[in-house]
Structure 1
Amino acid sequence: MPLFLLEGGRGESTCGTSGRWECEQNACLIEPDIIQAVNRGNYGWRATNYSELYGMTLNEGIRYRLGTQRPSRTVMNMNEIQTDNLPPYFNSAEKWPGKIHEPLDQGNCAASWAFSTAAVASDRISIQSMGHMTPRLSPQNLISCDTRNQGGCAGGRIDGAWWYLRRRGVVTEDCYPYQPPQQTPAEVGRCMMQSRSVGRGKRQATQRCPNTQNYHNDIYQSTPPYRLSSNEKEIMKEIMDNGPVQAIMEVHEDFFVYKTGIYKHTDASFTKPPQYRKHGTHSVRITGWGEERNVDGTSRKYWIAANSWGKNWGENGYFRIARGENECEIETFVIGVWGRISMEDMHNHHHHHHRRHI
């Protein structure tokens, strides 16, 4: 699908189609000289060209590929919870095999607010139910149904997403699959899943799965989310004890071309005019950490995080980013959550499980 249709014919997206001069007014998302500058410099990470991002302007990348709004002041003032013998390396996928979900691809839909929330909730429910339930929760359910003060594919807030997950609940990705927008990134599709209360705060779907092949329209809910302090040790302890966390970060122009290594925002485009230096707010899932030794004996500490730009981007859909220095504000607003799981749920799901294999 040619991305330059998205701009309604104003010709913004001529990146890569008809020579470089078109981009004088509009910086492109893929700037070969930025890629070269990163790869020549000693930044600790490597850049690459992504065919699925080629041809988009930087404005479009920020508009269509991110999609988390900064939390309101009241939410930013949520209390932080007030650590020891943490290992130098930790990866959730190794501690909880089969319970950490692969990165999805949000496409040109600015809904990282829904993707990161669904991913963290999926991992946490799988871990807390000790693998009795390993749902991959549906971002589309949030995008289409959580419409109160949310913008769907035009961006939204994670506090609204967690409110919805707690009050209404969502079904699995398999039940309500993701449909990336075809033309206008604003279209989100009407909500095809409602739930009703069945007492004790629990809810039940009142509709069949939009995917007619699937009959498992179980509703999954969470408890209210809690905010961690920006102290890297506390974030590490939380991940190690309870599973992946959600973080908000500022995405700059050079992050789009990240391929491998420990990302830090570079000065690769400082010599360029201001339209080449832009950023937007995004949300991601942090799943672990580590450190890499430099030749001179010093070490570089990093977070391991899952993005939602597909598995072709970065390190198989993941990226590493400098840890302990609030790189791109990734440690500023970090969230954990508990799934709402009862022994009865675990028992019922166990039976589901057996029925399916007969």
Structure 2
Amino acid sequence: MWRCPLGLLLLLSLAGHVALGAKQGRVRRELAPGLHLRGIRDAGGRYCQEQDLCCRGRADDCALPYLGAICYCDLFCNRTVSDCCPDFWDFCLGVPPPFPPIQGCMHGGRIYPVLGTYWDNCNRCWQAGNHSAFWGMTLDEGIRYRLGTIRPSSLVMNMHEIYTVLNPGEVLPTAFEASEKWPNLIHEPLDQGNCAGSWAFSTAAVASDRVSIHSLGHMTPVLSPQNLLSCDTHQQQGCRGGRLDGAWWFLRRRGVVSDHCYPFSGREQDEAGPAPPCMMHSRAMGRGKRQATARCPNSHVNNNDIYQVTPVYRLGSNDKEIMKELMENGPVQALMEVHEDFFLYKGGIYSHTPVSLGRPERYRRHGTHSVKITGWGEETLPDGRTLKYWTAANSWGPAWGERGHFRIVRGVNECDIESFVLGVWGRVGMEDMGHH
């Protein structure tokens, strides 16, 4: 059954690797079917304009990657079989495109706009959008550079769960958001860029909130993912992926400094050379306090205090237990499987839509990611049923999803989100409560 206005967008972002070669000669390009004839419709976006590209005559180098294909910004663009970039006509020629782009997708003979949200047979659809951060990236690259949590070993997956017991007659609220219970102590999502380091970003995000909550707001650090990426090197691979259990071990035994002290250096995909060397090691300072052995890499910041946590614990996968833990102790970390359609999420309550079934396997790849769950809620559907969801923070920056956050169906282990959920306590001593 059709679920969402998504078919087009998946065609767009999963368009194959059969790129039209930019330098493969006149005949090949003249005979190549136009992008629109290959099912690729305008994804919007400023291609020629972004690169300030408008070449005179025939210039095959005047090309840009376009959703798995190549589009051109030169005046050779054939008017009937077009390989032009979507904004070629209005930016380079100042005229409307000869075939108006379909902004949306067809369902039942109707065209639905890309950013709409629709009901179909009483099923809520989530909204899809086209994120400029992913333009020119293939699905393979998205999975390789935008995730980066290695699925835990069976030993770790079988980690003893701590069961949270609900008291007899205890009723949890229908909606909860950590930032409302703990204002100013819940930090906004960071952006991992093309660094496959969600293992470090989600760990730092949950630890930041929990240290802030457990110190009653005396310490409110944004902890440094870069400190983990560069210094937690035992069986970890920095921007090429890492393990959650190793990240929490490091935070407990070594600790990390703030993001201000040790900012994210950002690693572009395929960047040659080793990861940035570790700039900070911690040393004990007596009475449980630790301080880094070096000055902050950010020379404008002097505070190189190290923050630590207690041993991490795993929650049961029952949504009520996760909810109670979240409400009492703060945001939790969750593992999840990311499928091709999650990259396109713009808003609404996400559930994986298997629109790519029947397509070649390379369009159906998925990978393991980790995120911070911050709350929950529910929506009533038109037929009276209730759709329950989690709210969570991703690490793909504020432009993705709902200001960097997303909602996902709760209680049915959607995309494995309830299969491996972790909590931790900030290590906070009495002396920490007085002078921060």
Shorter-chain TM band: 0.7 to 0.9
Cα distance in 2 between the residues matched to 1:198 and 1:218: 10
Distance 1:97 1:168 in 2: 29
Aligned to 1:5: none
Matching residue within 175, 183, 193 for 2:280: 193
Decide which of 93, 96, 104 is 2:179's aligned counterpart.
93
Does the 8 Å CA contact 1:109/1:185 hold for their aligned counterparts? Answer: no
Deviation, 1:166, is 0.5
Q: Which runs of 5+ in 2 are unaligned?
A: 1-20, 22-63, 73-103, 107-112
* Contact 1:153-1:185 within 8 A present in 2 as well: no
**Corresponding residue of 1:335:** 422
Match of 1:48 among 98, 104, 129: 129
1:115 aligned counterpart, secondary structure: helix
Provide the rounded CA distance (Å) in 2 between the counterparts of 1:202 and 1:217.
12
SS in 2 for 1:143: helix
Aligned mate of 2:70, from 18, 23, 36: 18
The CA distance in 1 between the partners of 2:323 and 2:331, in whole Å, is 10
Partner of 2:404: 317
Q: 1:292 to 1:39 in 2, by over 3 A?
A: closer
Query: In the TM superposition, what is the alpha-carbon distance from 1:271 to its structure 2 partner?
Result: 3.5
Q: Distance in 2 between matches of 1:200 and 1:161?
A: 24
How far the C-alpha of 1:348 sits from its partner, in A, is 2.8
1:258 aligns with: 345
CA contact (8 A) 1:226 1:337 kept: yes
Which of the numbers 287, 291, 299 marks the counterpart of 2:378? 291
Q: CA offset at residue 203 of structure 1?
A: 2.2
| Aligned-pair identity (%) | 65
Q: Which amino acid aligns with 2:147?
A: L
CA contact under 8 A between 1:44 and 1:262: conserved in structure 2? yes
Corresponding residue number in structure 2 for 1:268: 355
Aligned 8 A contact 2:229 2:239 in 1: yes
Alignment TM-score, normalising by the size of structure 2:
0.72
Q: Which residue of the partner structure matches residue 219 of structure 1?
A: 306
- CA deviations 1:75-106 (Å, max 9, x no partner) are 11111112231000000010000000000000
Which AA in structure 2 matches 1:161? A
For 1:137 and 1:108, how far apart are their aligned partners in 2? 20
**Is the Cα contact below 8 Å between 1:43 and 1:266 reproduced in 2?**
no
Q: Within 5 A, what are the aligned runs for 1:61-76? A: 61-76=142-157
The Cα shift of 1:201 comes to 4.8
* 1:205 partner amino acid: A
Shift of the 89–37 alpha-carbon distance from structure 1 to 2, 3 Å rule, reads closer
Conservation of the 8 A alpha-carbon contact between 1:250 and 1:279: yes
Distance (whole Å) between structure 1 residues aligned to residue 367 and residue 394 of structure 2 = 15
Corresponding letter in the other structure for 1:131: G
Task: Check whether the contact 1:38–1:266 (CA below 8 A) recurs between aligned residues.
Answer: no
Alpha-carbon distance in structure 2 between the residues aligned to 1:81 and 1:112: 24
- Which of 201, 208, 218 is 1:122 aligned to? 208
Say if 2:295 and 2:302, in contact at 8 Å, map to a contact too.
yes
Q: How many equivalent pairs are there?
A: 328
CA distance in 2, matches of 1:271, 1:113: 32
Structure with greater helix share of residues: 1
Could you say which structure has the greater relative contact order, defined with CA pairs below 8 angstroms and 6 or more residues apart? 1
Go from structure 1 to structure 2 and tell me whether the alpha carbon gap of 1:59 and 1:43 turns closer, same or farther (over 3 Å shift): farther
Contact 2:193 2:268 (8 Å CA) reproduced: no
Distance in 1 (alpha carbons) for counterparts of 2:264 and 2:350: 29
**1:60 aligns to 2:146 (yes or no):** no
Conserved? CA contact 2:200–2:247, under 8 Å: yes
Check 1:183–1:90 CA distance in 2 against 1; reply closer, same or farther (3 A cut): closer
CA distance in 1 between counterparts of 2:271 and 2:312 reads: 28
Alignment of 1:53-202 (within 5 A): 53-82=134-163, 83=166, 84-182=170-268, 184-185=270-271, 187-199=274-286, 201-202=288-289
Paired residues of 2:145 and 2:269 also in contact (CA < 8 A) = no
The answer on whether the counterparts of 2:195 and 2:269 sit within 8 Å (CA) in structure 1 is no
Cα drift, residue 275 of structure 1:
1.5
Q: Structure 2 counterpart of 1:67, which letter? A: G
AA at the equivalent of 1:94:
E
Q: For 1:39 and 1:327, locate their aligned partners in 2 and report how far apart those are by CA, in whole Å.
A: 20
Normalising by structure 1, report the TM-score. 0.87
| Superimposed CA distance per residue, residues 150-173 of structure 1 (whole angstroms, 9 cap, x where no aligned partner) | 000000001100011001110000
Aligned to 1:27: none
1:25 aligns to what? none
- Tell me, in whole angstroms, the C-alpha distance in 2 between the residues paired with 1:188 and 1:255: 28
Correspondence for 1:278 among 354, 362, 365: 365
Q: Give 1:39 shift.
A: 6.2
- Sort the Cα spacing of 1:61 and 1:183 in 2 relative to 1 into closer, same or farther, 3 A: closer
Matched, 1:308 2:360: no
Letter aligned with residue 350 of structure 2: Y
Q: Which amino acid aligns with 1:329?
A: D
Q: Looking at CA atoms only, which structure, 1 or 2, has the larger radius of gyration?
A: 2
SS at match of 2:434: helix
